[in-house]
Amino acid sequence: MSTIITRFPPSPTGYLHVGGARTALFNWFYARHTQGRFVLRIEDTDTVRSTQASADAIFDALKWLGVDWDEGPYFQTQRFHIYTEYVQKLIDAGHAYYCTCSPEEVEAMRRHAMATGGKPKYDGTCREKGLSKCDHAVVRFRAPRTGTTVIHDVVKGDIVFQNAEQDDFIIQRSDGTPTYNFVVVVDDISMGINTIIRGDDHVNNTPRQIMMYRALGAELPVFAHVPMVLGKDKTRLSKRHGAMSVTAYRDMGFLPEAMINYLVRLGWSYGDQEFFTREDLIEKFTLEHIGRSAGVFDMDKLLALNADHIKATPPRLLTPHLMPFLKERGYPAEEGDYLDQVILTLNARSKTLIEMADQARFYYVETVEYDPAAAEKNLKPESLDPLRLLIQHLESLTDFTIAGLEKIFLTVMEATGLKLGKIAQPVRVALTGKTASPGIFEIIEILGKGAVVRRLQQAVDYIETHVAS
């Protein structure tokens, strides 16, 4: 079997959105699964709306997702000479012809066809005239008028189109620029693309493209038209559903692995498995497992999956993704053992990297700010004795481990007659400023003796200054 070659051809007229990213991932994973090749092509023939900034944003999003390409990026605007050659091939072979009908005349033809119960299309006025090239002429493809064109679709099965319903569509405008359906076919043929995975909004374009493949004597690629991504209300995905740029999710604290996992599962399945690593998907992704039902984008499910990936990712691999959020908050965070330990205490408590960065605050600030409600409830005069005793014992502690810390707390409990909760909660607020945090012994061990003693003393000073009468 020949090498599988897939492609992703975004238009640089905006950001890479969720639906486009899923298409890129389907093509990339299939190429990697089959040890094939993945081509990136920028379809920028819409020169009015296409921008380099949009192209760069697409590259940025793909790189964040870890989608690399074996060829490209190719830009269609740099390939006009190739399209001109293919136009001439079709003209020379009798599969295309020049047409001088004006837009107004073509519109009149369509209105007449509709008025007489026909399809609104060009009527073939110039089809047999044998016209030569001139300034105002377009080039039309000579579409077959009888028979059918069948898409043998891996996902949808066979889809049959009546050729009589197609018209002789334009492949080159009068200014010499080629049209979308034509350049797509030329690109796919000349780049050796043999597997096309794309959204099912392209189904209606496909019969025209198949006609041109045949006219050019090219082998048809495998087609796989995947259902669209919908919002929870089952309407086409829009911004109100979460159809933001892919990099917006990065900035919201999502891991690329979670985004990949979630997007691929929108329309593809492998039994009941929900959690996939990149390696899992490379191993298991096939076209046969793409479903026929539309995927429904659910932010809650994405958040839950992101939490799972945060928890499953080793600290050293999570660090590069977390670090920008720590730096953004001004924390003096550095890669290494300290941050690894911080992550291990927070990874089961964080749905996003933003949540993790916010929760990490107490590990990096010099002075803890107390939540008013937490301080009022826990930093009270009756907390002074256990806090002072803890300071006394911690200052002389040599075994600064969880086991050693547990012994000290037991000693303080015996000396004060208080249960662990009555001691641990004031300590928690003293160390973190909040009533909810990772395990108290874990926190103490990570912060270290100096920081812990200093914060406990600050809590004592706070109670004596603001609470005790």
Residues 343-380 have pLDDT tens digits of 999 999 999 999 999 999 999 999 999 999 999 999 99
Per-residue pLDDT at 383 = 94
Per-residue pLDDT at 467 = 78
Per-residue pLDDT at 243 = 58
Per-residue pLDDT at 118 = 87
- pLDDT(468) > 80: no
Pick from 452, 339, 355: nearest CA to 405: 452
Catalytic residue among 89, 121, 239, 434: 239
Per-residue pLDDT at 110 = 94
Burial class of 329 by CB neighbour count within 10 A (0 to 12, 13 to 18, 19+): middle
pLDDT > 70 in the chain, percent: 98
Rounded-to-integer distance, Cα 216 and Cα 221, Å: 13
- pLDDT(457) > 60: yes
pLDDT > 90 in the chain, percent: 92
Per-residue pLDDT at 466 = 85
Q: pTM to 2 decimals?
A: 0.92
Beta strand residue intervals within 27-78, DSSP E: 37-42, 71-75
Per-residue pLDDT at 244 = 77
φ, ψ for residue 374, nearest 5 deg? -65, -40
Per-residue pLDDT at 262 = 97
Confidence class for position 439, pLDDT limits 50, 70, 90: very high
Confidence class for position 47, pLDDT limits 50, 70, 90: confident
pLDDT, tens digit, for every residue of 214-237?
Answer: 999 999 999 999 999 988 887 877
Average pLDDT over residues 268-273: 96
Per-residue pLDDT at 237 = 75
| Cross-strand partners of 341 | none
- pLDDT(265) > 90: yes
Average pLDDT over residues 30-43: 98
- Does residue 112 or residue 399 have the better pLDDT? 112
The full set of domains in the chain, from first to last, is: 5-77+228-303 (3.40.50.620), 79-226 (3.40.50.620), 318-467 (1.10.10.350)
Average pLDDT over residues 273-288: 97
Give the contacts of 95 (CB within 8 A, at least 6 positions apart). Answer: 141, 142, 215, 216
Average pLDDT over residues 42-57: 94
Burial class of 235 by CB neighbour count within 10 A (0 to 12, 13 to 18, 19+): exposed
Highest mean pLDDT among 44-48, 296-300, 352-356, 401-405: 352-356
pLDDT, tens digit, for every residue of 174-193?
Answer: 999 999 999 999 999 999 99
- pLDDT(293) > 60: yes
Pick from 445, 340, 433: nearest CA to 379: 433
The reply to whether 239 belongs to the active site is yes
